[in-house]
Amino acid sequence: MASVLRGAKEEGNLDGLLLASGRRTVRPTGIVANIATATVMTSALFAGAVGPAFGRPAAEPHYENIALATKTPFVGDHALVRFETDTDNLTAAPTDGAVEEDGSIKLQVDKGHLEHSERKITGGESLFSGGINFSSEEKQVRQAKLTSMSLNIGNGKVHSKINGVDVVLGVIDTSTLLLQKKKDSRQLDVVILDRDVELSDEAAKKLDSSLGTTAFTEGDARLTMSAVCRVNLNKALAADLGLDLDAAIKAELDKEIQLNEPIDLAPGQKFRHLREAR
């Protein structure tokens, strides 16, 4: 066997030689060997050209300082939707667990969160349970049902389903919010009062089509919305009010603030300022 190996080596014919052990030894030759050698040399040269040996280490990535908003879950409470119309044959009634209250339809906050960061309220979203059933009786009884309503506090968009189809119902003004809190309470209410819903063209057309009317597209039917979204105070939220948690719990608050503007709890403004318990 040794003589066979020596002979094969001298003749350059080790490739494809089957040894007694059953293993096959393959050695790159010719063009394949040259390509492999060139690849190794090129890789080594390229690595050296950009490596520390040339005094040019790779630049470290740069990251912007981005303040991420803290999300505090909503634990209640409700939205009030008031329907007004100049058309006698058009009505609205609560459905799917909603109730009527003082001429409005009351929906419950099902879930959602408040977003806050760096002494600002920056947004949030509230999803409401219950629905509103519109009826038209001009020629025959026709209906349109609003369900799965939600409010984006950051941009004021109100989403809903009309007869099961997702739409942007409209937009309300959320640039001004009211923060309310009772003395010695751990809960804070974020309040939006009596905002007109600017119906989207899509929503107005879907409502009119379902009801066989032109009241929504022509402005003869209007919606007004209020919302009270409740959170439990925590350290992060108290800090964005400019207080520690104990002081925030003891305090009474009835304060108008601007969305995405620093919260200023100084006295002498439109609403009562923060007053700590004595």
Please spell the DSSP secondary structure of 87-103, one letter per residue: -TTEEEEEETT-EEETT
Residue 266 has what pLDDT? 58
- Which residue is listed with tokens 């090129």? 42
pLDDT tens by residue, 73-118: 999 999 999 999 998 899 999 999 999 999 999 999 999 999 999 9
Tens digits of per-residue pLDDT, 240-256? Answer: 998 899 999 999 999 99
Distances (CA, A) of 54 to 47, 67, 148: 10, 38, 63
pLDDT tens for each residue of 19-72: 333 444 444 444 444 444 444 444 443 444 444 444 444 444 444 444 578 999
In this prediction, residues 6-27 reach a mean pLDDT of 42
- Give the pLDDT score at 68: 78
Give the DSSP letter string of 40-104: HHHHHHHHHHHSGGGT-PPPPP-----PPPEEEEEEEEEEEEEEEES-TTEEEEEETT-EEETTE
User: pLDDT tens-digit profile of 160-218?
Assistant: 999 999 999 999 999 999 999 999 999 999 999 999 999 999 999 999 999 999 999 99
- Structure token digits, residue 267: 């006295």
